[in-house]
Amino acid sequence: MSAPLSAAEFTANAHRALGDTQLQHALHNSRDGFILKRAKAIARLPEFEALRDAARDIKAHTLEYLDLYLEAYEAKVLASGGIVHYAATSETANSIVLDICQRHGAKSVAKGKSMIGEEMGLNAALEAASIEPVETDLGEYIIQLRHEMPSHIIAPAVHLTKEQVAADFRRVHIDLPHDRDLTEPSSLLTEARKILREKFLAADVGITGANFLIAETGTSIIVTNEGNGDLSQSLPKVHIVLASIEKLVPTLEDAGELLRVLARSATGQDMSVYTTLSTGPRRPADPDGPQAYHVILLDNGRTKMLGSDFAEMLRCIRCGACMNHCPVYQSIGGHAYGSVYPGPMGSVLTPGLFGLDHSSDLPNASTLCGACESVCPVRIPLPKLLRDWRTRAFNRHIGPESQRIGLAFWGFLAKRPALYGFAARMGMWALALLGHAGKFRALPFADGWTASRDFPAPQGGTFQAQFSALRKRP
């Protein structure tokens, strides 16, 4: 079990992650799976790029008229017998959940996977009120046993090996026979399912997230591969939907378009195994369903982002493709980011929601290779947004002074091409002169690089010299 990490300590977290052999093993095992499956799914769908355009436009349109769609959605939920609560902060959202649970005398809550629940710190709030939260998504269940944050937005326990999970089950499931084989993922699943069935039946309240909220019908949609979301929302007598305000889309047809890019981008499936729609509490003719239906719409800084340069980030549909393709995420996993939202999307969203002061390293946790933008199903310009955060951190004097001085010096030269060329030639000349055997074992200001590899001594001319020679060629 590990203590929660902080975004302010990203560099130290990343160093630790790189030296964690078990984590590296787990990351290596999962690295190519997501990428290959997505690539195959997209190859089967020639109109995928056009669908990305449509998905981007649907989300951009909804954000532009979000106030109207929120009103329309609320009216439909009310008409179907449900209640909509608006929460400006996580604290307010938690107190609304607690109030609902206490009014219904809840002792335990079955939770479907919800990143908003993670963002709110809901489990801690429930436990503090003596209400047992039970995570029913397998990955979430595993990290709950370990008191950890998710390390990936769609695969919360991707940082673990199956041997670690088996050891956790043996530690916590006290009735588990010693000779029970837990070497295969399927045996782990069976074991978790046995425990969770009883928890589902005992739960007084079910809490789910929402992938989309439909303004025209007042419906919430969740997609899962385990069916736990269905049981969480249909067995208990109360269903609470947790969603952030940007989950709205205008129509069911729009949600259909987004679903076509979501699962393909996330897991490489054409569709997730379960796509579940819920609209209000059970009606007299319904065979099952909750007696009470609440939706909590969380803002938590999103309205502020809507009117800012970072509004495009609110198009995110939480597929996880950007992190699956990010070389930084692939190397250190999600916990190093110290936020419930890791990877490129988290490096943009976390400063937006929680402030740049405590997460100023995150926008630097990227090589700006562009892989994230190239796979994003809603075409969020993640590298541009990361650069924008870097600019803000620089302008606000956040971050190490040495970095500021270096960047300011580089900026000074970059605005004076002749001086830049001269400095580059001098630097190259000096490095070539000092570099024995064509390489450096150590360099001042570059010990991060030379700690684990040599730095090549420059050869030939500067880039500018070579480029101008190339242009002069007949």
Enumerate binding residues for ligand SF4 (CB under 6 A).
265, 316-322, 345, 375-378, 380
Shortest Å, Cβ 55 to ligand SF4: 9
The order of strands in the sheet holding 238-244 is: 83-87, 292-298, 238-244, 205-208, 108-111, 132-135
Residue closer to ligand SF4, measured from CB, 206 or 344 = 344
Shortest Å, Cβ 248 to ligand SF4: 16
Helix (H) or strand (E) holding 404: helix 401-414
Residue closer to ligand SF4, measured from CB, 59 or 76 = 59
Shortest Å, Cβ 188 to ligand SF4: 26
Shortest Å, Cβ 263 to ligand SF4: 12
List of E strands, 112-155: 132-135
Two tokens at 339?
């936020």
Shortest Å, Cβ 134 to ligand SF4: 26
Residue closer to ligand SF4, measured from CB, 326 or 428 = 326
Pair type for strands 205-208 and 248-249: unpaired
Q: Which letter, b or e, does each residue of 150-159 get, where b requires 16 or more Cβ atoms within 10 Å of its Cβ?
A: bbbbbbbbbb
Residue closer to ligand SF4, measured from CB, 166 or 321 = 321
Q: Which letter, b or e, does each residue of 224-262 get, where b requires 16 or more Cβ atoms within 10 Å of its Cβ?
A: bbbebbbbbbbbbbbbbbbbbbbbbbbeeebbebbbbbb
| Long-range contacts from 193-199, C-beta under 8 angstroms, 24+ separation | 196/134, 196/136, 196/141, 196/228, 199/108, 199/110, 199/134, 199/136
Rounded Cα distance, 115 and 208, in Å: 10
Q: In this structure, are residues 227 and 273 in contact, taking their beta carbons and an 8 Å threshold?
A: yes
Residue closer to ligand SF4, measured from CB, 137 or 246 = 246
Pair type for strands 132-135 and 219-224: unpaired
Q: In this structure, are residues 390 and 364 in contact, taking their beta carbons and an 8 Å threshold?
A: yes
Shortest Å, Cβ 60 to ligand SF4: 13
Residue closer to ligand SF4, measured from CB, 292 or 372 = 372
Shortest Å, Cβ 20 to ligand SF4: 24
Residue closer to ligand SF4, measured from CB, 58 or 398 = 58
Rounded Cα distance, 220 and 295, in Å: 9
Exposed, middle or buried by CB within 10 Å (0-12, 13-18, 19+), for 434?
Answer: exposed
Residue closer to ligand SF4, measured from CB, 74 or 254 = 254
Helix (H) or strand (E) holding 43: helix 21-43
Residue closer to ligand SF4, measured from CB, 240 or 385 = 385
Shortest Å, Cβ 261 to ligand SF4: 9
Two tokens at 93?
């959202």
Q: Which letter, b or e, does each residue of 299-315 get, where b requires 16 or more Cβ atoms within 10 Å of its Cβ?
A: bbbbeebbeeebbbbbb
Residue closer to ligand SF4, measured from CB, 265 or 300 = 265
Q: In this structure, are residues 212 and 258 in contact, taking their beta carbons and an 8 Å threshold?
A: yes
Shortest Å, Cβ 453 to ligand SF4: 30
Residue closer to ligand SF4, measured from CB, 145 or 316 = 316
Shortest Å, Cβ 369 to ligand SF4: 14
CB atoms < 10 A from the CB of 467, how many?
A: 11
Two tokens at 377?
């199903």
Shortest Å, Cβ 226 to ligand SF4: 20
Instruction: Using the structure block, give the residue that is written with the tokens 């009735």.
Output: 175
Shortest Å, Cβ 95 to ligand SF4: 29
Residue closer to ligand SF4, measured from CB, 296 or 316 = 316
